[in-house]
Amino acid sequence: MIDMIDIDLFITAVFVLVDDFFKGDPLPPQPGPDCKLTASEAITLLLFSQWSRFRSERDFYRFAYKKLRSAFPNLPSRPQLNRQWRALHDQVCIFSSYLADVLGAGEAPYEALDTGPVVTRNAKRRGDGWLVGEADIGYSSRLGWYEGLKLLLAVTPQGVITGFGLSPASAKEQPMAETFFYLRVYPDPRVASIGKASSHVYYPVDKGFEGYQNHERWQEAYGAYIICPPKSNSLNPWPKELRHWVASIRQIVETVFGKLLYTFRLDRERPHLLGGIRTRLAAKVALHNFCIWLNRQLGRLNLAFADLLGWS
């Protein structure tokens, strides 16, 4: 087993995989003047920039300008790079889904489904702030009241992210799940992040997704089988062992949320534009799946990200 790899090797591995994929599925032409970077180069930098080693996009750009110019001699200005990144959002989502397929997500016995907070602003600050009409105030058991968005994730037992979606923080889990399942059965190219369901489509969830009528409808309309313990005061409560089993198979989605928050800097996002947070979130998901792919190539544990790169 290889303990860690250097930055140059990591970036090369990302670029080769991205470039090989899009050679078979060419990128659509973009309006406006030609970009200084190819799409594969831009996506490679976008994914690499999501490590928590970088405090912000500005911090990453300083690093790239000083240390990555030999690999990317045509590095544009930071505003130009940001515009190119946002234009590549759908392609990053497609690449992430491709990685999930390569990692065998389609054969997973189930996909754990859960939501988590994406903070954009302190809920107690005055004024409208950014993302007016798109972000609002919601509640999280981890944070309490917060202002921002709510992230829905679908994760296999191996930690592979198969799909995700964003809503305002006040959104309820049931309508988010309804939209998620619908788009998996009736895909819309404008929502490339949803991904594809596994061949088994069993979804263990928590009480936020409860509702027997919802579960019956989702099964009948979308083929989505929900595994959700009833409330403790239910007339037909589950035995403790069964409830503990559901909690144990759902633990993987909590672990993956932790990776996105702390390893890939989601806890420090303070976006000004919805397009920016959507692009960076897609990049974090793609980087997460890529790191699993790379760990498997190196004979490492799937989610051993902390010591994957040698930063010195």
212, 184 Cβ separation under 8 angstroms: no
Per DSSP, the three-state class of 18 is helix
> Residue 229's pLDDT is what?
87
Q: Which two tokens mark 24?
A: 């078979």
> Looking at residues 225-234, what average pLDDT do you find?
84
> Residue 42's pLDDT is what?
95
> Residue 28's pLDDT is what?
60
pLDDT at position 199 over 90 = no
pLDDT at position 204 over 80 = yes
> Residue 279's pLDDT is what?
95
Using one digit for the tens of pLDDT, what is the confidence trace for 239-283?
Answer: 889 989 999 999 999 999 999 999 999 998 888 888 889 999 999
How many CA atoms lie within 13 Å of 131's alpha carbon, on the beta-carbon side? 25
Using one digit for the tens of pLDDT, what is the confidence trace for 9-28?
Answer: 999 999 999 999 988 655 56
> Residue 120's pLDDT is what?
85
Cα–Cα distance between 75 and 64 in angstroms, integer?
8
Burial of 287 (0-12, 13-18, 19+ CB in 10 A): buried
Which residues have C-beta within 8 Å of that of residue 221, sequence separation ≥ 6?
181, 182, 185
> Across the strands, what pairs with 168?
149
Query: 300 versus 127: which is more confidently predicted?
Result: 300
Are β-strands 112-121 and 136-140 bridged in parallel, bridged antiparallel, or unpaired?
Answer: unpaired
> Residue 23's pLDDT is what?
83
- Judged by average pLDDT, the poorest of 121-125, 186-190, 303-307 is 121-125
Per DSSP, the three-state class of 24 is helix
> Residue 237's pLDDT is what?
83
pTM of the model: 0.93
> Residue 92's pLDDT is what?
96
- Mean pLDDT is highest, among 54-68, 183-197, 233-247, for 54-68
Cα–Cα distance between 80 and 100 in angstroms, integer?
30
pLDDT at position 212 over 70 = yes
> Residue 296's pLDDT is what?
96
> Residue 30's pLDDT is what?
61
Q: Which two tokens mark 19?
A: 């470039």
> Residue 273's pLDDT is what?
84
Question: How sure is the predictor about 290, in pLDDT bands with cuts at 50, 70 and 90?
Answer: very high
pLDDT at position 164 over 90 = yes
Cα–Cα distance between 199 and 164 in angstroms, integer?
18
- Judged by average pLDDT, the poorest of 136-150, 185-199, 238-252 is 185-199
Average pLDDT, the chain: 89
Which residues have C-beta within 8 Å of that of residue 228, sequence separation ≥ 6?
204, 205, 206, 207, 209, 210, 215, 246
Q: Which of 2, 25, 191 is nearest to 95 (CA)?
A: 25
CB atoms within 10 A of CB 135: 26
> Residue 141's pLDDT is what?
86
pLDDT at position 123 over 60 = no
Question: How sure is the predictor about 165, in pLDDT bands with cuts at 50, 70 and 90?
Answer: very high
> Residue 134's pLDDT is what?
81
How many CA atoms lie within 13 Å of 67's alpha carbon, on the beta-carbon side? 13
Q: Which of 242, 269, 241 is nearest to 120 (CA)?
A: 269
